[in-house]
Structure 1
């Protein structure tokens, strides 16, 4: 009898323990997370390179609950509008409920995403909450923002072009135009506007006269550390190339235009006008659905297209630049910063 009593009590205790464990288990089962609510302090941003360290935008969101005591982790996802977050830039923020971007940080990010410099680009932002890979994440509402980025200038190895064409004080390397070597192979190129009918200049390896000074003893050849001034007759916008290894240089006067079925024809150029103040070539005109290119001197010897997809960075001999919506456009070609050429096609 005593044995039966002990067995009964043991079974009861085991059953009670099992029920207790089962009850505890139900407490740790996570459910679907509640969707965070996302807001942004700005929805339209025109980024300014003179305000790089200032706040551009801050995203805030409410906490998500999965019915579980473990910490919830968050991230911000940013993608091109209409891309359905197929390839978003994701920034993990751990347990924080906010993410701020400086002007510089946001500009770097949207340049990586392929937004065109100087043109308003449409993006979509959402917050995502997770507790582990076992459970589906909870996504916030989608917040649309419009961002106009500025150009990120890469400082390539350069030669300075001091000369008589400079505003006073002329012959000043520190304020002279530059030509640059994108490949870092001692082959330099850049575009310089010479406003006078007759221009003398030299190349210097530093923004002063303390480095190597390149002159010439014959047209097309360079002399390192000696030689007379390089010279050009005729005002204009010149493509300048120099090879300090082969000690050669060339000067090609250029006049720019656009051509393509978007402009009306692949056989007729539309001239662009040089803006001396802003150092850009520009034209405003109606464009139809189609494509276009930039070319110099009415020929394809020097022409710019773009990569695919187009990103506002001209490429010599690149693909045709698409125009997907007809309308009146301002087209700008900026070749003033060597190695950092840009263009924009902005609907007016």
Structure 2
């Protein structure tokens, strides 16, 4: 009986040592080679076409990263940053476990806008790829970068104001600026005594008005909004909440 107990103790001890050794000897994941960005290269320039959102705009291609240690899934993220900022505030615009990412015109446009690049303006954008491993996104490796130039288009409804109080009168709209963060439209503009209305896509099919000169509820096809005193005004509109404000500066 004593010999049996001794044998069991010896067996358990050997198993414990074996398990400890296997954990300690297991190689931790470590960097080996960063991904290499291949395309699009510096010099790539594109004016994005609003009428072709589903067309292929470009494909971001990179060589796989390499890691030492236990095999695991490698995740890749494509990042945009303003050119020359050394990726101080990068924005992840796509992820993949492959070595490429196709961007349609609409997707690339959204990537540019979400990264803070304005519509109708050619912006220089630094592009790179970062690799991480595991579910925690650790052991990061960053690729080289290329600088491309994109001109995005607005991916939101085109709202403007029109009326005798505006610089162009009732002849044409003055476009409002859209804020991606607040989802509101605004403009700072010189106005004269008269009136104006909000309208969509430079047409009268959808327009809003109000009797109040200082703001409040927007009324579909409502009354012309009055301006009684000339001056510089900041006008802000939330077409989701159907509210607007007017502030004389």
Question: Same-fold call, TM > 0.5?
Answer: yes
Given the superposition, is the C-alpha separation of residues 93 and 38 from structure 1 closer, same or farther in structure 2, using an over 3 Å criterion?
same
Q: CA deviation at 1:79?
A: 0.9
SS in 1 for 2:15: helix
Q: CA deviation at 1:35?
A: 1.0
SS in 1 for 2:109: helix
Tell me the C-alpha RMSD between the 2 structures.
4.4
Match of 1:54 in 2: 55
Q: Which has the higher contact order (CA 8 A, sep 6+)?
A: 2
Query: Larger Cα Rg: Structure 1 or Structure 2?
Result: 1
Match of 1:90 in 2: 92
More strand by share: 2
Match of 2:153 in 1: 150
Normalization by structure 1: what TM-score? Answer: 0.44
What CA distance in whole angstroms lies between the structure 2 residues aligned with 1:146 and 1:74?
A: 22
Match of 1:198 in 2: none
What is the CA deviation profile of residues 195-239 of structure 1, one whole-angstrom value per residue up to 9, with x for unaligned ones? xxxxxxxxx8439xxx9xxxxxxxxxxxxxxxxxxxxxxxxxxxx
Aligned pair count reads 194
Given the superposition, is the C-alpha separation of residues 180 and 188 from structure 1 closer, same or farther in structure 2, using an over 3 Å criterion?
farther
Structure 2 gap segments, 5+ residues each: 164-170, 177-184, 187-194, 208-220, 235-246
Normalization by structure 2: what TM-score? Answer: 0.58
Pairing of 1:209-248 with structure 2 (within 5 A)? 244-245=222-223
What is the CA deviation profile of residues 37-61 of structure 1, one whole-angstrom value per residue up to 9, with x for unaligned ones? 2221462223233332211121122
- From 18, 22, 25, the equivalent of 1:24 is 22
SS in 1 for 2:78: strand
Match of 1:188 in 2: 197
Pairing of 1:254-273 with structure 2 (within 5 A)? none
What is the CA deviation profile of residues 56-89 of structure 1, one whole-angstrom value per residue up to 9, with x for unaligned ones? 1211223334322222222111111122222221
Structure 1 gap segments, 5+ residues each: 161-175, 191-203, 212-242, 253-300, 305-315, 319-348
What is the CA deviation profile of residues 145-166 of structure 1, one whole-angstrom value per residue up to 9, with x for unaligned ones? 2222234462338889xxxxxx
Given the superposition, is the C-alpha separation of residues 19 and 134 from structure 1 closer, same or farther in structure 2, using an over 3 Å criterion?
farther
